[in-house]
């Protein structure tokens, strides 16, 4: 499969996952509403909470992420080369304006992009990345992050994170209602009511887990897409492949101020390496780095 075909395929799969994610949240909302007497009320409640949560995340999420990761704005002359690299590749990518540039004081080799749109975005790299990568490798990483911005991955991932948050809120509300025996005005309906109650308990327990798995699946798809788009931007896939090799061999990949809420943003998982297993892969924020390197080297 060529670069353009892979980009198109990953986009279709990602949006399909978001669609099913939205359907899943509406279904959870309906079950909450059914328990309280009106399924439509539950759907409306889910959409209302989702709107408020989305607006907060949309306008304040990026700044919150930068604050959580202790990112500091990169300024000349100390980071002239980094700023010039971002600006030059932004022009090549056709971005209307270059994203703001930030740096994290950390020896780990990592980077991420965030924001609500290409016009309101930023790229952050660690000082360890700047020290260990050569010019072509750094360009590969920056191109990867700019691809996240150009492809609106930052918005897709924000939307996925918002939907996970809504799912957690609704399922927690539903579970507390069952545990404390409150609400539940839907007393009639016989076997159908019992079925919905059992289904509601199951959803309350499993919904956050399913939501998180779906969000991480979207994240993994977007990483492959950004690798392909970044290679297309620089016309030199080997630069990013070599950078990923150095990131893979980093003896201390832990980014001190990263957490589970921000891990999916980074170019590689910001936590210490652990043994691979089916469950680890299922809950991984990134696809296997060896697979990414292999795909890049095959371009």
DSSP 108-170: S--EEEEEEETTEEEEEEEHHHHHH--HHHHHHHHHHHHHHHHTTHHHHHHHHHHHHHHHHHH
The number of residues making up the chain comes to: 299
Mean of the pLDDT values across residues 282-295? 82
Q: Smallest Cα–Cα separation from 295: which of 52, 93, 10, 23?
A: 10
Give the residues across from 126 on adjacent strands: 104
* pLDDT of 183 over the 60 cut: no
List the catalytic residue out of 145, 188, 212, 297. Answer: 145
Query: What's the confidence (pLDDT) of residue 258?
Result: 83
Mean of the pLDDT values across residues 156-174? 71
Query: What's the confidence (pLDDT) of residue 3?
Result: 59
Query: What's the confidence (pLDDT) of residue 174?
Result: 67
**How far, in Å, CA of 3 to CA of 44, rounded?**
41
Q: How much of the chain, in percent, has pLDDT values that exceed 90?
A: 37
Mean per-residue pLDDT of the chain: 81
145 is catalytic: yes
61 prior amide bond cis, ω within 30 = no
Query: What's the confidence (pLDDT) of residue 42?
Result: 78
* pLDDT of 193 over the 70 cut: no
* pLDDT of 6 over the 70 cut: no
Q: How confident is the model over 112-127, as pLDDT tens digits?
A: 999 888 899 999 999 9
Mean of the pLDDT values across residues 64-82? 93
CA pseudo-torsion sign 158, 163, 168, 173: positive
Q: pLDDT tier at 199 (50, 70, 90 boundaries)?
A: low
Q: pLDDT tier at 287 (50, 70, 90 boundaries)?
A: confident
More confident position, 147 or 177: 147
Query: What's the confidence (pLDDT) of residue 202?
Result: 72
Tokens of 9: 């395929």
Mean of the pLDDT values across residues 240-255? 93
Domain ranges for the chain: 3-69+152-297
More confident position, 117 or 285: 117
SS3 track for 5-74 = HHHHHHHHHHHHHHHHHHHHHHHHHHHHHHHCCCHHHHHHHHHHHHHHHHHHHHHHHHHHHHHHCCCEEC
Query: What's the confidence (pLDDT) of residue 145?
Result: 95
Mean of the pLDDT values across residues 273-292? 69
């Amino acid at each position: 499969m060529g670069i353009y075909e892979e980009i198109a395929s990953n986009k279709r799969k990602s949006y399909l996952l978001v669609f099913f994610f939205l359907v899943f949240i509406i279904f959870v909302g309906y079950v909450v509403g059914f328990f309280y007497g009106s399924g439509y009320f539950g759907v409306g409640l889910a959409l209302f909470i989702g709107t408020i949560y989305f607006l907060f995340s949309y306008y304040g999420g990026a700044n919150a992420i930068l604050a959580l990761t202790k990112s500091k704005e990169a300024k000349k002359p100390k980071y002239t080369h980094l700023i010039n690299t971002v600006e030059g590749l932004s022009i090549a990518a056709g971005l209307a304006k270059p994203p703001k540039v930030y740096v994290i004081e950390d020896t780990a080799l990592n980077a991420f992009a965030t924001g609500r749109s290409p016009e309101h975005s930023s790229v952050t790299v660690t000082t360890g990345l700047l020290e260990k990568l050569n010019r072509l490798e750094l360009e590969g990483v920056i191109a990867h992050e700019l691809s996240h911005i150009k492809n609106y991955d930052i918005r897709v991932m924000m939307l996925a994170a918002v939907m996970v948050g809504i799912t957690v809120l609704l399922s927690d509300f539903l579970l507390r209602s069952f545990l404390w025996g409150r609400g539940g005005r839907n007393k009639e309906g016989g076997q159908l009511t019992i079925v919905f109650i059992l289904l509601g308990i199951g959803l309350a327990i499993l919904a956050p887990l399913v939501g998180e798995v779906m969000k991480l699946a979207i994240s993994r798809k977007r990483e492959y897409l950004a690798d392909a788009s970044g290679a297309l931007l620089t016309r030199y896939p080997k630069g990013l492949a070599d950078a990923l090799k150095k990131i893979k061999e980093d003896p201390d990949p832990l980014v001190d101020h990263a957490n589970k809420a921000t891990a999916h943003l980074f170019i590689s998982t910001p936590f210490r390496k652990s043994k691979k297993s089916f469950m680890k892969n299922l809950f991984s924020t990134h696809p296997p780095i060896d697979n990414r390197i292999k795909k890049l080297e095959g371009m």
